[in-house]
Structure 1
């Protein structure tokens, strides 16, 4: 049986498990992967080199799978092939929803849905397969599994080849975050040196390209600021007497949304500007009283921006938003006074912007049992199946309710998840060797396959690469202190990540339309070229 057929059959089998992120099917996918690797003769003889590890305190009981093949020649150098087993949902497949996880049937019938010109052209070419998980990313997982099988037979390399398959990448990267301490433990116990990692995400067309054949040597970071706005309640009959926090949030949104001044840039890469992910007030029931609280949180992507720089920009923006609202309200009061011929008395409101950390310190200094109180509240909210972001908003609200200096204000914090940016640095010796392997592989692709692969500085889709090590320049301690609910609802293995710092690239098959019903994978390039390039890179690092 050919290697290509082995990969295809394994991919088709993995896709048939509908492991949608945040469901129990992720557990089924991990079990399937573990069982298939267990069939490889090498692991029957070396059971200590294979495991399925449950994620601690995971509400779904999810696990990640790992396996190691030792080369015939001993060396601490260890190369990692990694990927995620979860996929996004399939609602958009319409009447083909039941076939979304059947590659052959979905490919055969995908033209029954509305295809754009590019998707129709690819469908007619016969070079592309369709279905959920084809590109993102069960081909990559299947390829890694079959390469592990192949390398386990001859073992004609020096060092160790490690497979790592994780859940939760499409949600909060729970799998890779949980795997980091395990990788460090393996490194320390077996004296491994992690010389490189490939995360097998597909490359996709960028900037109007027809094809997208790329190798990414970095991954964008992500931070989520929360603006918690406190207003001053009033009756609708006296609308100018109070301060509606929805006004504050609206002005923040006006200044934040798609603001290019808040885009980060390095080399030739510029991040998309921020976008509001959720905006709401916290008024639970209808009444003729204005709401007291309103919130909004945003997606900010990073390449090199520091925490201090981001926080400073957000505080300045919030201050401007508050002042803009107060000026606008003042003008409206004057206009109303002239129109109504009434002498109105208004409470003086001044702009106030603080960080959650500042407020929390004051509250904890007075309420010594605060942490116990919040722990109990978080348990209640978790039992109500709230997501981490909603719980974080409730924590800020509960903290403010115990805050003595109550007044209209904007409280700035960060909420989960947080993704540090990551990039290979030539000046780092380990990174430098891996960059040489990358350059050699790209050259090999051109010479043997006439394929032009673009070495690209950053993968812009957010990835598990963020949790393969922490840049020492990032002041994590300071940042974490302003993440709401850190250690209660969300935690990063900071100590472990600071000791790992694995050189990583994102490199896989050629895909298009990830997370859409037209998700597809190019067969010739993915099944015939990519395996050879993986072999080249592995042997370069483990020769």
Structure 2
């Protein structure tokens, strides 16, 4: 399959559409994708099978694109090819940010930025194309479009191909979550049987210099523990009498940041350690009163999550942080008494760690429907203000605590959106086993025909929309989802729909480097020439084996 030039042409057309995550501009990319696919002859004749659809309830009114090709020989067997159309911001490009979406021009000047040795070598090799979204993941979208175009022209197999391009993956995966009911609707309308789903994300190097090509049989999950720190406010003149929530927050960060005790392991894979994504106090305006509250949330990747076990570990480390903070204050007050020749005595403070869901239930029990209506009205205001889901979660925690009767210094633990379930091929299922065999044959084909080795990896660690292609443990998923702040109010997880889908899925794309950096780039020789041919073999083999 020689579609290299077509993929490159489509890639450049898509990269120039900025489509930054979390903005209305994502629709610019969705519209361009729809426009390109509408030029394919099959969709000129079958306009009903190409749709641009709303992400239900999205304050940004974003769209996703669905294109279904059905072979002239009728079949239920269907392959899904999907990827996300949004990209991260370009502030990191500095004075070249206007060129971030113009790869050809960017590569003429990118040396003006500080490139490491590997990036410089790749630039000078001529085998890489740089620019925002090239690797993450407009190459994957371009690949999917051009596979769809080529195979619709051939129409020499018995089966269907569904292409999906979704927004929001770089934020909360709103697009893929919205696409789940759509997949079920198409399944019912056309009597489809989903035999495999491919997320066309580029593979990610595990370390500098790593250029191994990979196909991933699973994807890591993600939870975001959210901490609300409640201190004891005081005037700065009497600083020794209070408890600053920023101290609680910083002490927890010292203990939790990059802590390997929170890494998850499975099938020889180990997740990266947790990292803080945001830490802030909740004081709106300047004054010489110390803040009453602060908040922080952390990224924790999962492979085998037990929410109960994780909660135990989080509570333990929160108690440790609280006690450490109190000890720091007490020791410093003792030192201050010596220096100032004072005799300040602090009120004894006991560590207190609470579970948000329990506090919410207590307040709801005490205040009744009036409180629930109050929160729902607040959420609507925050959504109209276009606050992100994480800020809304913090605000829900804050407003709930303010209605809580048993006030006092504490650390409250909850979970902020989004939640990504971890997912892996289930080799006890026939469909998954068949897909694994076909992928193995594709890897052998790559070695024999192109001299290119591809290795199987169990988990894609970069987070991706494969998380929303089905679920095995429905009870476990319900347990975790029920603990997410704002669930079914401002954040939706289609739990039942996911349990009805459960499509055998893998992550397979080109070779990319430096995602979310100004040196982001995608390899040309492997991605544009080898990968389409492996896809060709895999797709034909799936349809042959599932006749």
TM-score normalised according to structure 1 size = 0.95
> 1:159: which partner in 2?
159
Whole-angstrom distance in 1 between the partners of 2:333 and 2:15: 62
- For 1:320-399, list aligned pairs within 5 A: 320-333=320-333, 344-368=344-368, 369-399=370-400
Whole-angstrom distance in 2 between the partners of 1:127 and 1:281: 47
Whole-angstrom distance in 2 between the partners of 1:237 and 1:31: 58
Whole-angstrom distance in 2 between the partners of 1:457 and 1:308: 25
Change in 2 beyond 3 A, CA 1:325/1:24: closer
> 1:223: which partner in 2?
223
Answer yes or no: is the 8 Å Cα contact 2:118–2:209 preserved in 1: no
Whole-angstrom distance in 2 between the partners of 1:104 and 1:286: 47
Whole-angstrom distance in 2 between the partners of 1:177 and 1:309: 27
Change in 2 beyond 3 A, CA 1:73/1:283: same
> Deviation string for 1:24-60 (max 9, x for gaps)?
3321221221122122221222223221111112222
1:334 Cα deviation (Å)?
Answer: 5.1
- For 1:69-468, list aligned pairs within 5 A: 69-333=69-333, 344-368=344-368, 369-468=370-469
1:342 Cα deviation (Å)?
Answer: 5.5
Answer yes or no: is the 8 Å Cα contact 1:306–1:474 preserved in 2: no
Whole-angstrom distance in 1 between the partners of 2:124 and 2:239: 62
SS at match of 2:398: helix
Change in 2 beyond 3 A, CA 1:237/1:55: same
Q: Where does the alignment leave 5 or more consecutive residues of structure 2 unmatched?
A: none
Number of residues paired by the alignment?
A: 543
> Deviation string for 1:138-187 (max 9, x for gaps)?
22211211111111123222221111111111221111111011111111
Answer yes or no: is the 8 Å Cα contact 1:197–1:504 preserved in 2: yes
SS at match of 2:240: coil
1:401 Cα deviation (Å)?
Answer: 0.8
Answer yes or no: is the 8 Å Cα contact 2:59–2:386 preserved in 1: no
> 1:542: which partner in 2?
543
SS at match of 1:518: coil
Q: Where does the alignment leave 5 or more consecutive residues of structure 1 unmatched?
A: none
Change in 2 beyond 3 A, CA 1:211/1:308: same
Answer yes or no: is the 8 Å Cα contact 1:280–1:294 preserved in 2: yes
1:2 Cα deviation (Å)?
Answer: 5.7
Q: After superposing the two structures, state which structure 1 stretch, 444-453 or 426-435, moved more.
A: 426-435
Whole-angstrom distance in 2 between the partners of 1:233 and 1:185: 54
> 2:511: which partner in 1?
510
Answer yes or no: is the 8 Å Cα contact 1:307–1:474 preserved in 2: no
Answer yes or no: is the 8 Å Cα contact 2:421–2:477 preserved in 1: no
SS at match of 2:408: coil
Whole-angstrom distance in 2 between the partners of 1:475 and 1:210: 35
TM-score normalised according to structure 2 size = 0.94
Q: How large is the Cα RMSD of the aligned pairs?
A: 2.0
Whole-angstrom distance in 2 between the partners of 1:24 and 1:62: 7
SS at match of 2:506: strand
Whole-angstrom distance in 1 between the partners of 2:367 and 2:273: 39
- For 1:515-530, list aligned pairs within 5 A: 515-530=516-531
1:370 Cα deviation (Å)?
Answer: 1.0
Q: After superposing the two structures, state which structure 1 stretch, 234-243 or 500-509, moved more.
A: 234-243
Whole-angstrom distance in 1 between the partners of 2:230 and 2:514: 41
1:224 Cα deviation (Å)?
Answer: 0.6
Answer yes or no: is the 8 Å Cα contact 2:266–2:304 preserved in 1: yes
Answer yes or no: is the 8 Å Cα contact 1:78–1:159 preserved in 2: yes
Whole-angstrom distance in 2 between the partners of 1:499 and 1:34: 28
> Deviation string for 1:409-432 (max 9, x for gaps)?
111000111111111122222211
SS at match of 1:82: strand
Change in 2 beyond 3 A, CA 1:30/1:366: same
Whole-angstrom distance in 1 between the partners of 2:461 and 2:179: 22
Answer yes or no: is the 8 Å Cα contact 2:227–2:297 preserved in 1: yes
